[in-house]
Amino acid sequence: MSGTTREESAAPAPEVRTLGVVGAGQMGGGIAHVAAASGLEVVLFDVQVGALDKARATVARNMERQVAKGTLDAAARDAALGRIALAPEMAALGACDLVVEAATEREELKARIYRDLAAHLRADAILATNTSSISVTRLAAATDRPERFVGMHFFNPVPVMQLVEVIRGIATADATVAAVEALAARMGKTTAVAEDFPGFIVNRILLPMINEAATALNEGVGTVAAIDTAMKLGTNQPMGPLQLADFIGLDTCLAILRVLQEGTGDPRYRPSPLLVKYVDAGWLGRKSGRGFYDYREDPPRPTR
C-alpha cells in the first residue's frame, strides 16, 4: 500500500515533456512514433538491443510512408526520429515525466517491470499501462504509486488508430487521468474514459463478436470468406471479424476472452474451441503467417 496522502495524490501531475516507453514491440514502437511526431522527447527501453534497433527501423519506415503520402514533411520526420532515444538500461527512464509500459500481456511480467522501475522513476512521475484487459486496479497495487497509475490503452496500429482508452483504477487520482487525457490529445488521439471492469469498453464489446464468428465458423454456418464478407458489407465494417482477429493476434484474443470469462464468471465469454485449437497449433494470425487466413500466399487464402 502506498504511503501517499490524499493531498499528495490530488496534487497536479507534471506536464509531460519526456515520455518513456517500456517494450519496443509493435505497440511500444507505435507509441514512440506518435509521441515523437507530436514533439515529445521519447526514451524507448527494451532489454533486447535488437528489439530497439528493429523498432527504430520500423518507425523510420512508417514515417517515410507518411512523407510519401504528404502527411509529414521530411524535416519533421528527421526531427521526430531525433527525439527518440534508445535505452538498453532502465535507469534512462528516470528523467521521464510519464512512462507507458507496453510489455507482453502477462500480469507477472508487468508486475516485475513495475518493481524494477520503482528504483528509477521520479516520485511525481506517472506510470501507465497499455494493457488491453488486465485489471488496472490490480496492476496498480503492484506499484509504488497507485494514485499515479492509470491504464492508457492504445490500439494497433498506433499511428493510424485514433482512440486511446483511459482506464481509471480504484486509486487513480483525478490529476493523473487529466494528465493522460491531455497527453493523448497532444498526440492527436481521442480518449474514452473507462472504469476498471474486465475488457474495459472496446474489448468487452469486440471480443464476443470475434468469438461468435469463430463459433459460427466451427459450426459450419459459413466459411471464413462468407463470414467476413457478410460482416463487412452487412454491418459496414472495414474488415471482417476473423480478419480482424488475425490482425490482433489469436493468442491475444484468447487471452482477453479468458480474462473476461474469469473476471465476470459469465459463460458467454467461454472461448470458441476452434479459437483455442488455432492457438494451440501456433496459428496466431498475421504475425505467425497463419490464422483464419494463410498469409504465406498472396492474396491470403482462407484456411477454412
CA angle 277, 279, 285 (to 5 degrees): 120
How many Å separate Cα 133 from the centre of its chain?
10
Ranking 4-13, 44-53, 293-302 by mean pLDDT, the lowest is 4-13
- The pLDDT score that the predictor gives to residue 11 is 61
pLDDT tens, residue by residue, 103-141: 988 899 999 999 999 999 999 999 999 999 899 999 999
pLDDT mean over 13-35 = 93
In the residue annotation, 153 being an active-site residue is answered as yes
Q: Is 257 exposed, middle or buried (0-12, 13-18, 19+ CB in 10 A)?
A: buried
Which of the following is catalytic: 9, 62, 130, 132? Answer: 132
- The pLDDT score that the predictor gives to residue 8 is 44
Q: Give the percent of the chain with pLDDT over 70.
A: 95
Strands 190-195 and 163-168: parallel
In the residue annotation, 297 being an active-site residue is answered as no
In the residue annotation, 120 being an active-site residue is answered as no
Beta strands in the chain (DSSP E): 18-22, 41-45, 84-87, 98-101, 126-129, 149-154, 163-168, 190-195, 293-294, 301-302
In the residue annotation, 156 being an active-site residue is answered as no
Q: Give the percent of the chain with pLDDT over 90.
A: 91
Report which of 81, 96, 82 is spatially closest to residue 43, judged by C-alpha positions: 96
- The pLDDT score that the predictor gives to residue 3 is 42
Is the confidence at residue 258, as pLDDT, over 60?
yes
Mean of the per-residue pLDDT values of the chain: 94
Which of the following is catalytic: 9, 133, 203, 211? Answer: 203
- The pLDDT score that the predictor gives to residue 13 is 66
- The pLDDT score that the predictor gives to residue 34 is 98
Which of the following is catalytic: 105, 153, 181, 211? Answer: 153
Which of the following is catalytic: 41, 101, 105, 165? Answer: 165
Is the confidence at residue 231, as pLDDT, over 80?
yes
